[in-house]
Every structure is written in structure tokens, then in C-alpha cells.
Amino acid sequence: MEEITAELVRRLLPPRAPEGHKGTFGRVYVLGGAVGYTGAPVYAGEAAVRAGSGLVHVGVPEEVYPIVAARCAASMASPVPGSYAALLEELRRCDAALIGPGLGRSERAERTVRSLLRDLELPVVLDADGINAAAAHINVLSERPAPTVLTPHEGEFCRLGGDLSGGRERGALDFARRHACVLVLKGPGTLVAAPDGRLLRNTTGNCGMAKGGSGDVLGGIILSLIGQGAEPAEAAACAVWLHGRSGDLCRRELTEYAITPEDLVGRLAAAFRSLGLEE
């Protein structure tokens, strides 16, 4: 098992082409949101922008679109297309998708997620209710035509059929291998397990980040780095370190009690700067 350190993250981050433009740095899509869950897709979309994406689309149900659009300063919110075919076409114009932040638990949403996992030929990050939608049809992961990254906490991991009886490390690695996915098992010392047997443990973060919305920020960072060209396991490793580093910077200024998801997004620039990228 390898520890995720600043040195490793510097080496794995996708480079920034000096002559690049919006299209160079990835077009990504966040699919989520529902009545009562309007913050999650906002946090994910804004985190993706802050982590370097050129174009970030946030697709939400029409009934919550005005609320979400009013809060998306740099990402582009729009109502989810009315037909599955139109949604699939829209997603296929992107480089990667994050499915699940605030999506809610409805039969239609779960059916849409399962269909997208089958039909989308681009990397997908599954979070929150996206994970729940896949739980009863877990074999779809190993049948996907493109990489999948899952970001469960331990409860969600067990609902997916993960086994923690032999420890977090063994359980994460066995799951990643069995289902041909990258697994980000969240918690203290977040683990990143890849299907090729790589296992990495994060060294940043604190309990002040244990609040609703923090995971949506993480999902947005992973999405952004994949969209910029990072290999999924490497994107996940960089993202969990940056996410945790942002949380540590927040703790220094705000204490562990007062950290919010907005604070995590706001400190991402400082987290990147702490890598010495401009030196």
C-alpha cells in the first residue's frame, strides 16, 4: 500500500498546457439534484471548476433548476433533457460524468442511472444516490465499456456488497478487482483501490469535514481531474489528497466545528498552491 503524499500528487496531476483553451481542460457533466437536495450538485459543479475543468455542466430536474442555477456562479446549470435519448446525447459530448449528488431515490432516477452505466462510453464517477442506484445491479460495473469510480462511505460500501470483515484495505481491494472499478472508500485514511491491484491511503483531512456536502466536493474534484485527462485511479488519489488538504487549511482558520462545503471549495486554490506548483 502506498501513501498519498504531496510529492505523489505533484507527479500525478494532469499538466496545464500554456496554450490551452476551455476545450483543452475538459468538458464534464454533473447529473444530480432533487427537491430538498439542491446544494449537492452545486458543490460538485463549483468544485470541478475550481479544480481546473474548462467547461462544467450541471444537469438537474426542471423543478429545482431555478434554485440551482441561482447558486452556480461558474458552472453551467440546465434542466435535464426530457428524454433519455436526449440526455445520453448530451452526456456523450462530455469527457466524463459525475452521477448522483442529491439525485434522490426514485424508480425513474435509478432506472436512468443503470441505463447510463450500460450505455455511456466515457468515465463515470458514482456518488451518493448514484451508488444506491447501482447497488442492486452491481454486475453492471464490470460490464461497462469505460472506467467507473465509486466513492462510498463504509455504510454505502456494505450496501454494495463490500466486505469489511477482513479490514478496510482488503475489502476495498477485493471489491475493486471483482467489479473492475476504482473504489474510493471514504473515512479517516481514505483508501483508493484500483482493479489492477494498486492500493493507496490518503494522508490529509480531519473530522471537521464530516458534514453533508463534503463528499459532493470530492466527487467534483475527481470528475474534474478525469476530464483533464488523468487516469481514474490517479485522479482519485490526487482528489482525496487535495480535498483533505483543503479541509486541513479550513481547520487551521475555522476550527473543526465550523467547516462547510463552501469553505472546502474556497480553499482548493490554497491546497493546489501548497503543492508548490508555481515555484
Distance CA 227, CA 223 (A): 6
C-beta neighbour count of 183 within 10 angstroms: 29
Cell matching residue 48: 470541478
Q: pLDDT per position in the chain (279 positions), as tens? A: 999 999 999 999 999 999 999 889 999 999 999 999 999 999 999 999 999 999 999 999 999 999 999 999 999 999 999 999 999 999 999 999 999 999 998 888 899 999 999 999 999 999 989 999 888 889 899 999 899 999 999 999 999 999 999 999 999 999 999 999 999 999 999 999 999 999 999 999 999 999 999 999 999 999 999 999 999 999 999 999 999 999 999 999 999 999 999 999 999 999 999 999 865
C-alpha cell at 131: 451508488
Q: How many Cβ atoms sit within 10 Å of the Cβ of residue 73? A: 9
Q: Assign residue 48 the CATH number of its domain.
A: 3.40.1190.20
Q: Is residue 112 part of a domain?
A: yes
Asked whether residue 279 is domain-assigned, the answer is no
Indicate whether 245 belongs to any domain: yes
- The number of domains in the chain is 1
Query: How far is the CA of 50 from the CAs of 30, 53, 54, 84, 145, in angstroms?
Result: 14, 7, 10, 29, 29
Residue 277 lies inside a defined structural domain of this protein = no
What pTM value is reported for the model? 0.97
- 50 in Cβ contact with 81 (< 8 Å): no
Residue 152: which domain range?
2-11+20-272
Three-state DSSP at 58 gives strand
* Domain membership flag for residue 278: no
Nearest to 207 by CA among 158, 172, 258: 258
- CA Rg value for the chain: 17
- Nearest partner of 226 among 76, 157, 125, judged by Cα: 125
**Could you tell me how far CA 239 lies from the centroid of its own chain?**
8
